[in-house]
Amino acid sequence: MYEDRRRPYARFKDISVSERILNTVFLLTIGLGYLMALANLYYTHTGLDGKPGLSIEDVVISYHGSNNQTRLGAAINGIMKSNLTYPGDKDVILQWIKNGADEPEYNEKIAPILNRDCVKCHTPDINPALPDLTHYATVSEVAHSGGESIPTLVRVSHIHLFGIAFILFFIGKIFLLCDINVYVKRVAVVVPFAAMLLDILSWFITKEISSFAYVVVYSGALMGLSMGLQILLSIYQMWFYSGEKTDG
């Protein structure tokens, strides 16, 4: 036991060239996978706020939802606008959505407009396929936008946790063969895991508190960055470095 502890730990120069090649193709593939994940992120979230490119507002809308992105708001701004008897009612409806689309204001201001201009088509008896605009419960459904649902978040979370844990574990295992300060190394193997957990946790929090979208973005970036550094340093030391062995 005692002698075991004094034996230096393995470094990249202790492993065979075949193993280095295997490590390298694995790390490069993971790196490519990560870039694809970023591209996927871009395509799924971009432009949700109506502006090109990926912004913090897009992230907020994805997880938290947005009152500007409701089906009722979009319809009344677009093809359904012409059904209004008084064009000014558009702003009344949009303002109500913005205020949170609650029931008292619905009864007071919105129901009269919808009953006059909309329910002649939007009644289940006439058009079951259209949103039912005859009472609050169903109007409320198209007047709110809740962002990502909890079941969806849970599904994506468990896939991420299992999948990314494996990836980070194997990247970390390879990275441990690097020849760097042992304390830096001990922290470095924890950072991407912690960042991933924070990222996923903040998806759920962003659903309630929209400003947590920043935590989603920064923790996601931190995970990518720490993973990328482990990959690059590993590949560098595997092929271009032959230092003295140290413990750790």
Options 24, 46, 83, 123; binder of ligand HEC; rule CB under 6 A: 83
Burial grade of 158 (CB within 10 A; 0-12, 13-18, 19 or more):
exposed
Long-range contacts of the stretch 195-199 (C-beta < 8 A, 24+)? 195/219, 195/220, 195/222, 195/223, 195/226, 196/160, 196/161, 196/164, 196/165, 196/168, 196/223, 199/223
Q: List CB contacts of 167: < 8 A, sequence separation 6 or more.
A: 30, 227
Stretch that binds ligand HEC, among 112-120, 144-152, 184-192, 214-222 (CB under 6 A): 112-120
C-beta closer to ligand HEC: residue 84 or 167? 84
By CB under 6 A, is residue 106 in contact with ligand HEC?
no
CA 74 to chain centroid, in Å, comes to: 24
Q: Least distance from C-beta 125 to ligand HEC, angstroms? A: 14
Q: Least distance from C-beta 74 to ligand HEC, angstroms? A: 6
By CB under 6 A, is residue 66 in contact with ligand HEC?
no
By CB under 6 A, is residue 94 in contact with ligand HEC?
no
Stretch that binds ligand HEC, among 19-27, 77-85, 187-195, 203-211 (CB under 6 A): 77-85
Options 80, 164, 200, 238; binder of ligand HEC; rule CB under 6 A: 80
By CB under 6 A, is residue 122 in contact with ligand HEC?
yes
Question: Could you give the CA distance from residue 190 to residue 134 in angstroms, rounded to a whole number?
Answer: 55
By CB under 6 A, is residue 72 in contact with ligand HEC?
yes
Helices (H), 46-135: 56-63, 71-77, 89-98, 103-105, 111-117
Q: Least distance from C-beta 206 to ligand HEC, angstroms? A: 24
Options 130, 154, 156, 159; binder of ligand HEC; rule CB under 6 A: 130
C-beta closer to ligand HEC: residue 24 or 123? 123
Question: Could you give the CA distance from residue 19 to residue 168 in angstroms, rounded to a whole number?
Answer: 18
Length of the chain: 248
Integer angstrom CA distances of residue 16 from 7, 12, 161: 19, 8, 32
Amino acid (1-letter code) at residue 132: D
Residues 175-234 that bind ligand HEC (CB under 6 A): none
Options 48, 84, 180, 217; binder of ligand HEC; rule CB under 6 A: 84
By CB under 6 A, name the binding residues for ligand HEC: 71-72, 75-76, 80, 83-84, 117-118, 120-122, 130-131, 142
